Amino acid sequence: MTTGPTGGFLRRRLQRRLNGKLIGQVGFRRLWVGQSISELGSQVTVLALPLAAVLVLHASTFQVGLLTTAGYAAFLIVGLPTGVWVDRMRRRPVMIVADVIRAIALASIPVAYGLGDLTLVQLYAVAFVTGIATVFFDVAYMSFLPGLVGLNNIVEANAKLQVTVSLAQVGGPSLAGFLIGLFGAPIAFLADAGSFVVSFVSLAFVRHHEPAPERSEARSLRSEMAEGLGFVAKQPILRMIAGCTATWNLFNSAVMAISVVFLVRQIHLHAGTIGLLTSAGAVGGVVGGLTASLLRRWLGSARIIWVVAVVTAPFELLIPVTFPGPGLACFGVAAFMSSFGAVVYNVNQASFRQILCPPRLLGRMNATIRFIVWGTLPLGGLLGGALGSLLGNRNAIWFCAAGVTLAPIWLLLSPLLKLRDTPEPAEGWDGVGPAPEPAAG
């Protein structure tokens, strides 16, 4: 079988991206494999959770929105203190425990279903518990990675991980649709539980000497949280990135909370078709991961952050235009561009954060950013559920898609607009006082 020019280009880019300097580093490779498999499993839950609520428990639009809220409420409740706790501990054991907790929580759903005791309350509880574990895992993971690969390799590491996340988003929904169609939504959760077991085993075999965290004289939880907040507050680029991402996440999570209900009840799609449609859109994330570094070099590390957001955000407006038949392409294009933009944006802004922040503050800095940008996700679930009930699903998606489109205004009002490249810390800078001035381009 031959491939066209575009297919050949993507195949070559994928091969180069999945190779590179880091492929020979055993510790990173084991982390990468575990993360890739757990991300594939998590895609099953992304589709199975709302479908279990809709198809098995006959949940309303608002009740499905509450599932999103339950899953992300942890970022509001424990987001900030998690950063302090993670900075006080070695990060790898935190990640291992989080994987174990998520596996047990997800495995409880098919058990309850088999006993005839599955309820919406249990789905909310599982979403909340896995959300708490995910907060700890994500903060520890983002803080562990720079020490594992080194700052010179951090952009490559983030790009590799984003490519495999996007590949999981391509194959995951189709796998989810197949498993849900074959076994039912509750049983499909076993796939995600198993993926976290694989991640746990992979992390257990990562041989990386992680230095003991520094012990400070003042161990006040409040003062250490304030230090992380202060670091983010003093950096104007970080502030505006956080504002843009928080706004984007608020309205995008509202769209996602309604989308499955919209596709089932207004467009009349089956689980398998929804999975295929979501997978087709996720190809954009693969393309984004393969081209993130290239676009960074072409446009500059500062310019790429705001350009990709401004160009891709308006495509969200195609989702409410979706209709049966050929109109499904509107949803697919919107999903493709949204995924592409999110990956390119996240690779570059996350790498900037990790390079800029001193190691002793990584946990608190990442927790602060996560608290701000992920803390809007449960609010988005409530917003989507409420608007879907009041305005109807299609009108609610119009409103929320407009909010996504306007999110990049934060970046257009930031110093990024005048820069080609983001500032890098001077050698020996420990995060105390202002960061070095960036060079205009």
First to last CA, the chain: 46
Q: What's the pLDDT score for residue 81?
A: 84
Within 10 A of 283 (CB to CB), how many other CB atoms are there? 19
Please list the pLDDT of the chain residue by residue as tens digits (441 residues): 334 444 554 455 545 545 556 655 777 888 888 888 888 888 778 778 888 888 788 888 788 878 877 887 887 788 778 877 877 878 888 889 999 999 999 999 989 888 888 899 999 999 999 989 988 888 888 778 877 777 677 777 777 777 777 777 666 666 777 777 777 777 778 888 888 899 888 888 887 766 666 665 556 777 777 887 888 888 888 889 999 999 999 999 899 888 888 888 888 887 778 877 777 677 888 888 788 888 988 998 889 999 999 999 999 999 999 888 888 889 989 989 998 998 899 888 888 887 777 777 777 887 888 888 877 877 887 888 889 888 888 999 999 999 999 999 999 998 888 888 876 653 444 443 334 443 333
- Rounded CA-CA distance 71/262 in Å is 20
Does 281 map to a domain?
A: yes
Q: What's the pLDDT score for residue 351?
A: 80
3-state secondary structure the chain: CCCCHHHHHHHHHHHHHHCCHHHHCHHHHHHHHHHHHHHHHHHHHHHHHHHHHHHHCCCCHHHHHHHHHHHHHHHHHCHHHHHHHHHCCCHHHHHHHHHHHHHHHHHHHHHHHHCCCCCHHHHHHHHHHHHHHHHHHHHHHHHHHHHHHCHHHHHHHHHHHHHHHHHHHHHHHHHHHHHHHHHCHHHHHHHHHHHHHHHHHHHHCCCCCCCCCCCCCCCCHHHHHHHHHHHHHHCHHHHHHHHHHHHHHHHHHHHHHHHHHHHHHCCCCCHHHHHHHHHHHHHHHHHHHHHHHHHHHHHCCCHHHHHHHHHHHHHHHHHHHCCCHHHHHHHHHHHHHHHHHHHHHHHHHHHHHHHHCCHHHHHHHHHHHHHHHHCHHHHHHHHHHHHHHHHCHHHHHHHHHHHHHHCCHHHHCCHHHHECCCCCCCCCCCCCCCCCCCCEC
Within 10 A of 325 (CB to CB), how many other CB atoms are there? 7
CB contact set of 325 (below 8 Å; sequence gap of 6+): none
Q: What's the pLDDT score for residue 67?
A: 83
pLDDT digits (tens, 9 = 90+) for 78-135: 877 887 787 787 888 888 999 999 999 999 998 988 888 889 999 999 999 998 998 8
Does 316 map to a domain?
A: yes
Within 10 A of 433 (CB to CB), how many other CB atoms are there? 7
Does 186 map to a domain?
A: yes
Largest CA distance in the chain: 65
**Of 425, 413, 419, whose CA–CA distance to 439 is shortest?**
419
Q: What's the pLDDT score for residue 108?
A: 92
Q: What's the pLDDT score for residue 165?
A: 74
- Rounded CA-CA distance 187/170 in Å is 21
How many domains are there within the chain? 1
- Rounded CA-CA distance 378/76 in Å is 8
- Rounded CA-CA distance 38/43 in Å is 9
Does 441 map to a domain?
A: no
Q: What tokens were used for 395?
A: 């009108």
Does 435 map to a domain?
A: no
* 369-405 burial: b if 16+ Cβ within 10 Å, else e: bbbbbbbbbbbbbbbbbbbbbeeebbebbbbbbebbb
CB contact set of 134 (below 8 Å; sequence gap of 6+): 74, 98, 102
- Rounded CA-CA distance 187/106 in Å is 10
CB contact set of 174 (below 8 Å; sequence gap of 6+): 272, 275, 276, 279
405 is in which domain, residue-wise? Answer: 10-207+220-418
194, 331 contact by CB (below 8 A): no
Give the position of tokens 């992920």: 374
The CATH number given to whatever domain includes residue 334 is 1.20.1250.20
Q: What's the pLDDT score for residue 407?
A: 95
Within 10 A of 333 (CB to CB), how many other CB atoms are there? 18
Does 4 map to a domain?
A: no
Q: Hey, CA dihedral for 37, 184, 270, 390, is it positive or negative?
A: negative
79, 135 contact by CB (below 8 A): yes
Q: What's the pLDDT score for residue 12?
A: 53
| Inter-axis angle of helices 26-51 and 271-299, nearest 10 | 140
**Of 345, 338, 308, 88, whose CA–CA distance to 214 is shortest?**
88
Does 3 map to a domain?
A: no
Does 84 map to a domain?
A: yes
Single pTM value for the model: 0.68
